[in-house]
Structures are given as C-alpha cells and as structure tokens.
Structure 1
Amino acid sequence: MMLADYHVHTEFSDDSVYPMEDVIEDAIKMGLDEICFTDHVDYGIKLDWNCGKEIPYRDGEPFANVDYPKYMEKIDRMKQQYGDRIKIRTGLEFGIQTHTIPEFQALYDRYTYDFIILSIHQVEDKEFWTKDFQRGRTQKEYNERYYAEMLEVIKKYKDYSVLGHMDLIARYDEAGVYPFEKIKPMVEEILKQVIADGKGIEVNTSSHRYGLTDTMPSKHILKLYRELGGEIITIGSDSHKPEHLGAYIEETKEMLKELGYQKFCTFENMKPVFHKL
C-alpha cells in the first residue's frame, strides 16, 4: 500500500532546522514511498530573502520566507540523488491572506510545482498562536472571521491543491471546542467552492501531537466534505522534526476508511493521483 507524507517542513521553513537530506533519509528508513516538501511562505508577516531589507531574527533563526532559488535547486538535486529510492515532490505551503494574494500569484507563476497547500495562518497579519488574532474578539467572532477570510481567499485565488489544516483556529482556541453547527454553513460554503474548483483538503496528523480531541480537520468536516462529493484528500504530518515525520499516516488512512472514503491522493504537476486507502 502506498505510504506518502504530503506536509513536510525542512530547514527552509523559518520554524524548522530539519535538514532536507535527513528528512529524505528518515523517510526512506520508515518505508515512505513518497514525500512532498511544503515549506512555509507567509507574506504579510515575513520578508523574502534578497528583498533589499534586513531579515529579522526570531529565537535565533531568520524570520523569513523560503529562499526560493536555493530551495528549488536543492529539491532538484535531492530528486537526482534519491529518486531511485523514494519519490520526491516539489511543493510549498502558502499562508495566504486576502491582501497578500498578488504576491502569492507572482510566486506561483515564477516556478513549477507538484503541490501547493493553501493555509490560513494569519488574518489581518495577526497570528493565532500568539492569540493576537483572538484578542478582543469573542469565540464566535474569531471563528467566523477566520472562516470568512478562508472563503474570500479561495474565491479569488485558484492556484493551489488542497486546503491545509482547515480548522487550524481550533488548535489555538483557549475557550474550548466551538460547536460545529455554528460554523457549519460557512464550512459548507467553503467546501462547495473547493469541490467546484477541483481542489481538495488535507488531513493534518499533527492533531495527535497537539493533543486535540478531534482530527484536523474535524470528523464533522471530513464527513461533510464526503457528503458533498469531495474526493481529493491528502495526508500530511506537518513535520518539523524527525519525530513528526510520517506520524499517524497509517492510522489516518484507517480513520478515512471508517468515514467512507476509499481513496487518497498524491500530486504530480498540480494534478491529483488517486490511490486506494
């Protein structure tokens, strides 16, 4: 059975120091057939390398987007070096906001990709993990604002493969689990747009290491996506360290089967490739 990890970070992400070669060696050792590198780009809060401005540092590491030329060159080199042992795909994780869409469109047009994760990491340039976004808002307000931003982005931006960790806001919700019924109409509208555009969603297995009580996205969302006719679904660990890589991939495949899914996807040249679960 095909084993693939489709959300993998390396030293090219500002929040990881996991060398790309080590990721590949570890993936081969654990029997993965395919991996896709999806390092972080977050316009609005981070600068590009070689942008003519001084790059700030956070916790001793440069706080910047991927160094694209070096990243692309290294992935190509890794494909040549390891291509007979594991399939390596080229991707990025786009942390898009409505006001940063033009920058992401320009970046997408600049290179050739296999796979793009579209994530809502910030809204109004405010982070979730610092609680800057939630501060001053009720639980209802920040949940609704988060999904409103996601819908607005996917209405305008189409060059992506899947929505990443679709209910990410739940990871940083100190008020507890927000009732699904209250966000269901917004989520349904988003999923209908995703399906109409021929895109998909991911299951992000990091819910286990964050100690969440549900999957990410929640089983409510996964069930709704299938009921609406959604078929394109990827599985990714969101790994930043060796202990994250490939984690809970097998368990996630079993969970998807229990929810009625029969296939999952990998990607090549931005097109889904379906595999039996």
Structure 2
Amino acid sequence: MYADYHLHSEFSDDSKELMERQVEKAIKLGLDEMCFTDHVDYGIKRDWDDPRGIEWRQGDGISSGDAAREPLANVDYPRYFAKIARIRAAYGDAIKIRSGLEFGIQSITVDDYERLFAKYQDELDFVLFSMHQVDNKEFWTQDFQRGRSQKEYNEAYYEEILKTMKAFKHYSVLAHLDLLVRYDKAGRYPFDKVRDLVAEILKQAIADGKGIEVNTSSWHYGLSDTQPSREILHLYKDLGGRIITVGSDAHQTSYLADHIKDAYAILRDEIGFTEIATFEHMQPIFHKLR
C-alpha cells in the first residue's frame, strides 16, 4: 500500500491546488490511495452559509469584501463532497480516492464539530484531529506563545489536546501531534518534560480506538525529527498503539507523497511497526508495511 492521507485542495483557504491536479500527480507517482482532508477551523473561520457571512483577506488585513479578495472560510461542504464524487467517477479506475476533513478543533469549538460530523458523517471516510490554535490564538502567528514561557505554552498545548479528546470522539487519528515544534522559536522543548502528558494523550487515543499520523511535511519544514517525533512514535507503540496513517500535508502537487516512503521505512525499521492504516467510512483497514 502506497497512500497519502493528508492532502489539501482548492477547498482549503490556504491552497489553490485543484483536486484533479492532486489526483493526476498521485496517479503519476503510483499511489494506490489518497485522501483529501481540507481545513475546518471553527473559532477563527466561518462556514460559507454562516448568517454573518464569511470574512475576506486582502494584503495584511481581513475585512468583509468581494470575490476579488481571498476568502477566509471553512470548506464549502456541499461543493466539496460533490466534487470528490465527480473526481472518483473520473479517476476511480486508477486510484482509490477517500473523503476526509481536517478538524482544527479546540475545546471551545467542540459543539460546532459535533454538529458538522452529524450532518456529513455519511460522506466521511476519515477525519484528522488537529490543533492549530488554542482559545482562537494561532501558533504560527505566535499569538498563543506570546507572554508565556516555553514550559507554559508547551504544557498548555498538550493539556488542551487531552481536554478536547475527552470531549470529542468523531475523528480517526491525531494529526501532527507535536505541531507546536514547527512554530517554537525557543527550539525543541525536551520531550522528557512533557512525556507524561503525551502518554496520557496516547493512552486516551488507544482507549478510544483512535490512531496517530506521521506528517511528512517535517522534511520540507526542516525539522530535526519526524512529526510526531520518534520518541512519541516509540511511546505510542510501547503503549499498544496500532493505528498509523502517513500523510504529506501537501497544499500543492510538488509536495504530494513527499517522503511518504521514508516515513514507512522509519516506522518499519526504527520503530517496529508492521502495518499502516487506511480508512473507509471511518473504519481502519490495515496493510502490511513493505
């Protein structure tokens, strides 16, 4: 099995890549399976049918505007699922195409995701549990980290993940679990200082029948380790975790399937996993790692 389970398209506000271009590149690369996982980030983005309207960004500012500006919005769900259906009809003989979403969830937005999942659960094969912000304060802007010590913001990040996992169960895997590493200007926080917190997160995921993702964007971000780190991957395996997906997080075709096979080798040869998972209708399907 050669599969990319974290992909973005024109339905993510931070991508302009057409679905068909992603699919054509995946076929060219010889992928067996792919899953679109476009962004939903309640709290900082609105749905297209929100009665308040969506927001628009232009330059450095965000304001209400017209179609000439770029929308800051969640997935347009009806158009998204309809296009996946058309893409499957057009390319389904060459590659298996799965339907997913990336939930950028926080404890304060759980109710929004409960409603969303209830509405579209029959359309979904796969859901990524991601955390891109806490209390609507984003990591990449440093809004979340500002005014906190490295210890404080790392602990607060993992505590928020655990709190949210306990409240929300409609997901498949935890995506880029140590995402904060990407945006930590103080450097990589020592794992032993958050090991117990991470262990509680992984125990909760295992108890709930959920998995974790290896996100291969760590290579093009220039991180010093995999994402999540090898220490987290070892810990997940030692605790009895079995469900692993691998995704490139590609927002453009140049990164599609990037370092997927390197991740497979690390999982197999360094960590000791023998299988990876794909998903259908929110249920894992296991494949031997080759």
Structure 1-normalised TM-score? 0.98
1:195 pairs with one of 203, 206, 211 = 206
* Aligned-pair CA distance for 1:248: 0.3
Could you list the per-position Cα deviations for residues 70-96 of structure 1 after superposition, in whole angstroms to 9, with x for gaps in the alignment? 001000111111111100001000000
* Aligned-pair CA distance for 1:68: 0.3
1:96 aligns with 2:100: no
Structure 1 stretches (4+) deviating beyond 4 angstroms?
none
Could you list the per-position Cα deviations for residues 54-80 of structure 1 after superposition, in whole angstroms to 9, with x for gaps in the alignment? 322235421000000000100011111
Q: Secondary structure at the match of 2:272?
A: coil
Residue matched to 1:15: 14
Residue matched to 2:285: 273
Gapped runs of 5+ residues in structure 1?
Answer: none
Query: Equivalents in 2 of 1:55, 1:229: separation in Å?
Result: 43
CA RMSD of aligned residues (A): 0.7
- Match runs of 1:165-176 below 5 Å: 165-176=176-187
Could you list the per-position Cα deviations for residues 73-122 of structure 1 after superposition, in whole angstroms to 9, with x for gaps in the alignment? 00011111111110000100000000100110110011121000000111
The amino acid that maps onto 2:195 is K
1:209 aligns with 2:244: no
* Aligned-pair CA distance for 1:51: 1.1
Residue matched to 1:238: 249
Select between 105-114 and 223-232 the one with higher mean Cα deviation: 105-114
1:63 aligns with 2:72: yes
Gapped runs of 5+ residues in structure 2?
Answer: 59-68
1:31 aligns with 2:30: yes
Query: Equivalents in 1 of 2:221, 2:238: separation in Å?
Result: 28
* Aligned-pair CA distance for 1:53: 2.3
Structure 2-normalised TM-score? 0.94
2:232 pairs with one of 221, 228, 231 = 221
* Aligned-pair CA distance for 1:166: 0.2
Q: Secondary structure at the match of 2:170?
A: coil
Query: Equivalents in 2 of 1:147, 1:158: separation in Å?
Result: 17
**Number of residues paired by the alignment?**
276
Residue matched to 1:40: 39
* Aligned-pair CA distance for 1:190: 0.4
